[in-house]
Amino acid sequence: MAGAAQSGEPKPATAARIYDYHLGGIHNFPADREAADAVAKLFPLVPALARNNRAFLRRAVRHLAESGVRQFLDIGSGIPTAGNVHEVARTIVPDAKVVYVDLDPVAVSESLEILDGDERSAAVRADLRDPDSILTHSQVRRLINFREPVAVLLIAVLHFVPDDEAAVDAVSRLCAPLVPGSFLAISHASADGLAEPRSDDLAVAKDLYQRSTTTPFHLRSRPQVERFFAGQELLDPGVVWLPEWRPAPDDPTDFTDRPALSAGLAGVGRVR
């Protein structure tokens, strides 16, 4: 992709490709790298945040598969990288079905490429702010049986929906068709745990990110993240910092001493 970026039209930065760059991926263009470097200069922990977020995703998917979930709807799934949901889930549930959903066409096309020939997975382009377009999508209807438990994953994506009511409404509509025993997993950027001046740095990084990409960015507090789980049974240990959610031996160690510096909150709820 780096070669394509050099020969083609300049592409504006996107959240998916900036995140890919922070994770050491190759699916990014010069504008993405520039924006990612500028954010990381102000807030050097961002690549570690991305690694810890990815580790939470892995732990959550393992836990959900071990709890018997066989269907996953991964919304804001991003560009495929190590430890994609279908790979992690199938280490426990070999016939797990996964639908990846993202707004970014590059994320979708790269996902389709790695899923080529996989009848139990799909990648579709849709917008989380329009939940019905996801729930009624032909590929979602083909693979996901809403009469059985489903895990809806909203990992590091809700902070790209700045309007609080729109975000809560989208989550509630996505969870409306889920039967008891289904799950919702969320991770979300938050500056709650950062003391001054780090929270200032994060606000500057946020503004910079917002100006250089097509996707605005919005931090939320712990109570605001907890609100997404309204009506569900929040699994232990609740909404906590990324490294604190059921840590595992293969986790990164960036924030072992200061989990709040991960700047990401995470939780899993069970639909009653």
Closest contact distance (angstroms) between CB of 66 and ligand SAM is 20
Nearer to ligand SAM, 150 or 156 (CB): 156
Nearer to ligand SAM, 47 or 78 (CB): 78
**Among positive and negative, which fits the CA dihedral 133, 134, 136, 137?**
positive
Rounded to whole angstroms, what are the CA distances from 152 to 134, 196, 245? Answer: 11, 34, 17
Please list every residue from 182 through 201 that binds ligand SAM, using CB under 6 A: none
Closest contact distance (angstroms) between CB of 182 and ligand SAM is 18
Nearer to ligand SAM, 16 or 261 (CB): 16
Task: Give the residue among 159, 166, 153, 254 at the shortest CA–CA distance from 202.
Answer: 159
127 makes contact with ligand SAM (CB under 6 A) = yes
Helix (H, G, I), strand (E, B) or coil at 72: strand
Give the bridge partners for 72, in sequence order.
Answer: 98, 151
The site string for ligand SAM over 131-170 (x = CB under 6 A, - otherwise) reads ------------------------xxx--xx---------
Nearer to ligand SAM, 79 or 194 (CB): 79
Nearer to ligand SAM, 14 or 28 (CB): 14
Closest contact distance (angstroms) between CB of 114 and ligand SAM is 14
19 makes contact with ligand SAM (CB under 6 A) = yes
122 makes contact with ligand SAM (CB under 6 A) = no
Q: Give the separation between CA 174 and CA 135, rounded to whole angstroms.
A: 7
Stretch that binds ligand SAM, among 12-20, 90-98, 202-210, 247-255 (CB under 6 A): 12-20
Residue nearest to ligand SAM (CB): 78
CB 92 within 8 A of CB 119: no
Give the bridge partners for 187, in sequence order.
Answer: 155, 266
Nearer to ligand SAM, 130 or 233 (CB): 130
Contacting residue, 128, 175, 263, 266, with ligand SAM by CB under 6 A: 128
Contacting residue, 102, 110, 251, 254, with ligand SAM by CB under 6 A: 102
Q: Which long-range contacts (CB under 8 A, 24 or more apart) does 162-167 make?
A: 162/216, 162/217, 162/218, 164/220, 164/224, 166/129, 167/228
Please list every residue from 51 through 70 that binds ligand SAM, using CB under 6 A: 53-54, 57
> Other CB atoms closer than 10 Å to residue 22's CB: what's the count?
21
b/e per residue 88-107 (b: at least 16 CB within 10 A): bbbebbeebbbbbbbbbebb
36 makes contact with ligand SAM (CB under 6 A) = no
Helix (H, G, I), strand (E, B) or coil at 187: strand
Residues of this chain that bind ligand SAM (CB under 6 A):
14-16, 19, 53-54, 57, 75-78, 102-104, 107, 127-129, 155-157, 160-161, 215
